Chains A and B, each alone.
Chain A
Amino acid sequence: MTLIAIAEQALNGLIISTFYALIALGIALIFGVLRIVNFAHGELYMLGGYACYMAVTLLGLPPVFGVVFAVILLMAAGMAIERTLIRPIHAGKVDRPDEYAIMITFALSVLLLNLANSVFGPWPQRPRPIFRGIVEFGELIIPGDRLAAASVGALLIAGLMLVLRFTWMGKAVRAVSQDRQAAETFGINITRTSMLAFGAGAALAGAAGALIGPVFNVVPPMGIVPAIKAYIVVVLGGLGSIPGAVVGALILGQVESFATILIPDTTRALAYKDAYGLAVLILVLLVRPQGLFGKRERRA
């Protein structure tokens, strides 16, 4: 393998990692604060794609506004979901909170997926990307739409990190993730923080969908595979860990990128591409359920 081919695979992996990280960070944020895995995350991502389609294709706005529109819309949707479906768990209004959280978010994904199927139809849409054409670094050729989408994604991730690190809101989110009761004792409004965390997680998924939609296609089932990748990423990094989600995404992106060219039988290697990460997920959960950076729980 030539050096240029290696660089190309590494860069492709890095671009994919950015998308994975964007989706996974939302799941990690939600798990950190609310202690639930959002099984409808892929469908929130899909809604982001359609928000972008509505803004860019139907309203004719510039592509960047597609992302902005998706973030605003999904933030609102996420907060509404938290308010109506998730809050009852922490208010003690649900008999079996663990099962309820899993099943209600899974049922929500059924609802959203088929809602999109009904409203937008099953055919693919392709809104205008932020940037068209190709970018050349010497001999390295990269599709411009992917690079632009990944760059915006990276900026969003950096922004999120700064907000979490330095603002009061971000500190509240981190405090609640670390210790719910202690945070409450210190006067943090848990209800508001929970709503904010779910809204922000949904907004991140929406941003990812709006960025990637134009690169691949916007279709109702588009969220299923990326969501599974994001689950792999958060499990690898440790459920609820923010740095874990980023590191996990970097690892998965490279593993997938290189596994497909290192395995000799290429057609088979490609067919199994989505299975490598799943094997990683099972292995991590069995051997080290807290992942690379997660907090160890008595019972996983």
Chain B
Amino acid sequence: MSGLTLLQKGILAVLVLALVLPYVGLQDYWLYTLTIGLYYAMLASSWSLLVGYVGRISFAQAAMSGLGAYVAVLTGQLLDLPVLPALAAGVAVAGLFGLFIGWLTLRLHGAYLGLTTIAFGEILRIAVTAEYDITQGSRGLTAPPLWQGAGPVAYYYVFLAAAVGSVLLMLALLRSRVGLFFQAIREDEDGTASLGVNVTLWKALAFAASTAFAGLAGGLYAHFVQLITPSMMSLQEMGYILAMAVIGGFSNVVHAALGGVILQGLLQVLRELGEWRLAIFGAVAILMLRFAPNGLFGSLDAFLRRRR
């Protein structure tokens, strides 16, 4: 364990704590909160995979989660698929849609890319709202539980496994050559291409990977809350994901995931503050971007390293 930094040890401790949490007398209410937090952890980390490592901005992450959710529930309903294949269908459709967006927007950068992804996300949200016959529109679509009799503890462990598994997969991807390609593209696209990296391919695939994780998160979320509405695809929801990733630290998938869990937890702890909570999160996100672009955990990490 000597190769680990203090922060990494801390993260391991948090993970062990997370595993035993249901057995130390935590109320179901808090398990529910943490489960939702893990959903956001998946969204924030998959978003940071794209924005933090490849340098491609996207405002369609909430919409992609919604796409995964609706596909998972609808394939289950219309094609009579069991839950697992339906979830896989949601992941596949979200991933393919991400590949499509990634491929279409290869030429676009920065604000142009941001605007295009907003347009794709909003069109999806509008379509889900408008196709009332299939999706029940804004009344919401009811989803079955993951399995009959699944309780809060079970959901908590499923989400914990999915979130940790997703982050580990992302880390494995980032540790490989592909991860280096991603970061090289972020630093200098033309330079990377000149060294023989297939920039076109990796830019499109990065998009697909990011949205596939979002699709998984959305599908699980649908079976957990058991009622999904198009509002889960809204730009406001996207704003929260951005705030979580930025506050946690969007240049590292682990930090972004921690940001998701912690902000969702704080939202419940600070419930007395009402809407002020979200205003505060917005303000903190702005301050972070301006003064600590590596986020809470990135800065903490740097601080702990320096003290050694």
Contact = CB atoms under 8 A, between A and B. Distances in A.
Interface in A205-239: 221, 224, 228, 231-232, 235, 239
A300 B112 contact: yes
B279 A117 contact: yes
A103 B246 contact: yes
A113 interface: yes
Interface stretch (B17-25, B28-36, B125-133): B125-133
Contacts of B127: 272, 275
A119 to B, nearest CB: 9
A281 to B, nearest CB: 5
Interface in A84-104: 85, 88, 94-96, 98-104
Contacts of B243: 107, 110
Interface size class of A (residues with CB under 8 A): 35 or more
Given A99-B57, A272-B126, A275-B126, A289 B114 contact: no
Contacts of B57: 99, 102-103
B86 interface: no
Give the dominant DSSP class at A's interface: helix
B216 interface: no
Residue with the greatest number of chain A CB neighbours at <10 A, chosen from B51, B132, B239, B281: B239
Given A117-B279, A278-B123, A221 B112 contact: no
Contacts, number: 144
**Contact size class for B?**
35 or more
11 contacts: A37-B114, A85-B286, A102-B111, A107-B286, A110-B243, A110-B281, A111-B279, A111-B282, A278-B122, A289-B108, A300-B108
Interface of A: 31, 36-37, 39, 85, 88, 94-96, 98-104, 106-115, 117-118, 122, 221, 224, 228, 231-232, 235, 239, 268, 271-272, 274-275, 278-279, 281-282, 285-286, 289, 299-300
Interface of B: 51, 55, 57, 59, 104-105, 107-112, 114-116, 118-120, 122-123, 126-127, 129-130, 132, 235-236, 239-240, 242-243, 246, 274-279, 281-283, 285-286, 289-290, 293
